[in-house]
Chain A
Amino acid sequence: MQRLLYLIQKEFRQIRRVKAYIGIIFVMPFVQLLILGFAITIDVKNLPLVIVDEDHSSASRRMIEAFSKTDLFDYKGVAPSSKNVVELLDENKVRVAIIIPIHFERDLKKGKKPLVQVLVDGVDGNSAGIAMAYVNQTAMLLQKDWLKGYSGEQMKAKLIEIVPRMWYNPNLESKYNIVPGILAVLITMITAFLTAMNLVREKEIGTLEQLMVTPIKSWEMILGKILPFLVIAIMLLIVGVFAAGIVFNIWVKGSYLLLFVMTIVFSMSTLGLGIFASTMANTQQQAMFIAYFFSIFALLLSGFFIPIENMPSWVQTITYLNPLRYFIVIIREIYLKGSGFIHLWKEALAMAVFGGVMIILASLRLRKRL
């Protein structure tokens, strides 16, 4: 036990001497949140839109008005002809074009059901899908409006309306989804990278060999490495929570205690992973490379910005081996819904098992032999 204390003391003394750690703990969370929080906007907006109005009627003007006043589209004005529109799409000048046919209003009144064409640049399938859905919805609302004026049967028309209520994020802002995720990613990257680099550095300069010939126990060595970095992870989380609050005005809705306990459980697996990576590498450069590869995988398959349900089932199966997958769920649920332990125990259990296995594996690999 005494040996452990000396190990931890040594680690903190070393950490204190490296100026970069201060930057990592206190500046990184702000920088990451600022860059990622603003750049990762899953909400689609400002898609350039043109409308071809071949009718020039009050109905067509009404339609133009309906489409031009939304955030989703950046209305660029009317285009002279549909031939022109295709050119604009080709040149990437616009992404959506709506063509209102000639005699639109007349046909509408006569009940001849005119056809409105919508051209969407499908290169970015996601944006295209959202644009299509929005076009359909707006078209629908217009129909309902016009029922009164044009159908003459409005008294008999039966209307079913949907009243959506968006829970936890009423304005559908993606920052609520992204910001807690960034905190999780930050903790993953920092803890895994720092431990891997730290151990490999001892290997490079030869102090690890020196430690191995001392009567110190394997578990003391592992714990002596893990505990100091656990403290760093927690400090990082504290700074991160404040940064998220200050920059984005997003605060934890649920229990802070639960969040911290879960972070500790999660950090076990990333710290274990870092140690594991360090046993495979001989130079800091290699360690960084290995840790980097792991983190790309962990990030993409975590549900951070690509929902896991959308992935093919074999990829989904792989994600169960990703501890970040569980932590992303936990941190989001605690942050946004204020969920308690009873709602999250399965994820917590999976993380704990993963962390335990990781640390056991790391201890086995980091035996006191070369």
Chain B
Amino acid sequence: MSENSYTVEVHNLTKKFGSFIAVDNISFSVQKGEIFGFLGANGAGKTTAIRMLCGLLLPTSGEATVAGFDVYKKSEKIKSNIGYMSQKFSLYEDLTVRENIQFYGGIYGLTRKEIAQKTDDLLHYLNLWEQADQLTSALPLGWKQRMALSVALLHDPQIIFLDEPTSGVDPISRRNFWKLIYQLSGEGKTVFVTTHYMDEAEYCDRVSIMQEGKIVELDTPKGLKSHYKAKNMQQVFLNVVNGESK
């Protein structure tokens, strides 16, 4: 494989807040088209790590490149090449569905024609024709979540960061959401996702488990399960967290 096939590369990345070490010396790389899962309890450092990769936080030390751009110097370049969806719902509830799409399209520098095209595509794709001119606040949460993802994809980014995208969503919506993720990965996009639903971890190509800022495990779900002789990821996770021997 050529080195270009790694879209995210991280070496010894560390983030300290005062004396608290949120992310402690982590290293990994993610291949193009991979679905890369970040697992961990609340406060394990997942969100901090993802924010550094998106250029929202400056690392304390270590190196990282995203889509070939350095997170220290080229964070603005990174931003044109990634899609990001945070754990908070990130659309404007007081704008209509159509207006949200128009706004984010404009922000990413799409032309008027492209925006019109994308709006049509998305409304069709999300099956939101009827709701296009309703306020976003009126949509059910599962719909909002899918719409937020679609909006984060307006500019056709190669790498997508999803920070706990499915928290608080019902199981059927979650499954629909993951269908979307598979589809993206099939199109050759890299998906970087954090979650604390263990069943979701099974869907990832590779999973890293974070604990107290460190990556303690990194493998395919299959590899992890056989390693811990566990029947599912839930058990793997509990074993890792409780520090039981391999």
Chain B CB within 8 A of A7 CB? yes
Closest to A217 in B: B76
Considering the chains assembled together, what is the distance between the CA atoms of A17 and B80 in angstroms? Answer: 30
| Residue in A closest to B79 when the chains form the complex, CB atoms | A215
Contact A10 B103 (CB under 8 A): yes
Q: Is A313 close to B, CB under 8 A?
A: no
- Give A194-220 as 1s and 0s: 1 = Cβ < 8 Å from B's Cβ atoms: 000000000001110111111110000
Contacts of B68-127 to chain A: CB distance below 8 A? 75-76, 79-80, 82, 84-95, 99, 102-109
Minimal Cβ-Cβ distance residue in B for A16? B94
In this complex, the member of B55, B93, B103 whose beta carbon has the largest number of chain A beta carbons within 10 angstroms is B103
B45 → chain A, closest Cβ, in Å?
A: 15
Cα–Cα distance between A370 and B58 once the two chains are bound (Å)? 9
| Residue contact A10 to B99, C-beta cutoff 8 Å | yes
* Nearest B residue (CB) for A220: B107
Q: Are B107 and A6 in contact (CB under 8 A)?
A: yes
Any A CB within 8 A of the CB of B174:
no
- Interface residue ranges of A353-370 to B (CB < 8 Å): 368-370
Q: Which chain A residue lies CB-closest to B56?
A: A370
The B5-19 residues at the A interface (CB cut-off 8 A) are none
Does more than half of chain A's interface fall in helix, strand or loop, or is it mixed?
Answer: helix
Taking CB atoms, residues of chain B closer than 8 Å to A205 are 88-90, 93
Q: A213 to B93, Cβ gap below 8 A?
A: no
Once the chains are docked, how many angstroms separate the CA of A18 from the CA of B84?
28
Q: How many residues of B contact A (CB 8 A)?
A: 34
**A213 near B92 (CB under 8 angstroms)?**
no
The smallest beta-carbon distance between B117 and chain A, in angstroms, is 16
Name A330-370 residues within 8 Å CB distance of B: 368-370
Instruction: Check if A215 sits within 8 Å of B76, measured CB to CB.
Output: yes
- Count of residues in A whose CB is under 8 Å from the partner chain: 25
- B99 A13 Cβ-Cβ under 8 A: yes
* A213–B76 touching, CB < 8 Å: no
Contacts of B109 in A (CB 8 A): 2-3, 215
Q: A13-B95, A369-B56 are in contact. Are A6 and B79 (CB under 8 A)?
A: no
A9 within 8 Å of B by Cβ?
Answer: yes
B57 at the interface (CB under 8 A from A): yes
Which residue of A2, A205, A212, A215 has the most chain B CB atoms within 10 A of its CB atom?
Answer: A215
Given A17-B94, A215-B76, A215-B79, A210-B106 contact (CB < 8 Å): no
Compute how far the CA of A177 lies from the CA of B11 in the bound complex, rounded to whole angstroms.
66
B51 and A370: CB pair below 8 A?
A: yes
- Which among A2, A209, A369 is the interface contact of B106 at CB below 8 angstroms? A2
A213-B55 in contact given A3-B107, A10-B95 (Cβ < 8 Å): yes
Q: Are B82 and A6 neighbours in the complex by a CB distance under 8 Å?
A: no
Q: Is A5 an interface residue when CB atoms closer than 8 A count as contact?
A: yes
Q: In the docked arrangement, what's the CA distance between A17 and B92, Å?
A: 12
Interface flag for B54 (CB, 8 Å): yes
A84 within 8 A of B: no
Closest chain A residue to B85 by CB distance? Answer: A210
CB within 8 Å for A206 and B79 given contacts A6-B102, A370-B57 = no
Residues of B within 8 A of A10 (CB): 92, 95, 99, 103
Taking a contact as CB atoms under 8 Å apart, the answer to whether B79 and A213 are in contact is yes
A209's closest neighbor in chain B, by CB? Answer: B86
Q: Which of B56, B79, B107 has the most CB of A within 10 A?
A: B107
Instruction: List, in ascending order, chain B residues with CB within 8 A of A215's CB.
Output: 76, 79-80, 108-109
How distant is the Cα of A240 from the Cα of B99 in the complex, in angstroms?
Answer: 32
The residues of A that contact B93 with a CB separation of less than 8 Å are: 205
**Would you give the shortest CB distance from B74 to chain A, in whole angstroms?**
11
**Residues of chain B in range 149-168 having any CB-CB distance to chain A below 8 Å:** 152
Which one of A10, A14, A210 has the greatest number of beta carbons of chain B within 10 Å? A210
Taking the closest CB of chain A, its distance from the CB of B84, in whole angstroms, is 4
- Minimum CB–CB distance for A194 against chain B, Å: 15
A210 to B109, CA, bound (A): 15
- Please state if B86 and A7 are interface contacts (CB–CB under 8 Å): no
Please give the distance in Å from A98's CB to the nearest CB on chain B.
65
- Other than the given A205-B90, A205-B93, A368-B79, 14 more pairs (CB < 8 A) read A3-B106, A6-B103, A9-B103, A14-B95, A17-B135, A206-B90, A209-B56, A209-B86, A210-B152, A213-B54, A213-B84, A214-B108, A215-B76, A370-B56
19 residue pairs from A and B, CB less than 8 Å apart:
A2-B109, A6-B102, A6-B107, A7-B106, A9-B102, A10-B95, A14-B95, A17-B95, A205-B89, A209-B88, A210-B84, A213-B56, A213-B79, A213-B84, A214-B108, A215-B79, A215-B80, A216-B107, A370-B56
Q: Which residues from chain B sit less than 8 Å from chain A, CB to CB?
A: 51, 54-58, 75-76, 79-80, 82, 84-95, 99, 102-109, 135, 152
**Shortest Cβ-Cβ A-B pairs, 5 listed:** A6-B106, A206-B88, A210-B90, A213-B84, A215-B80
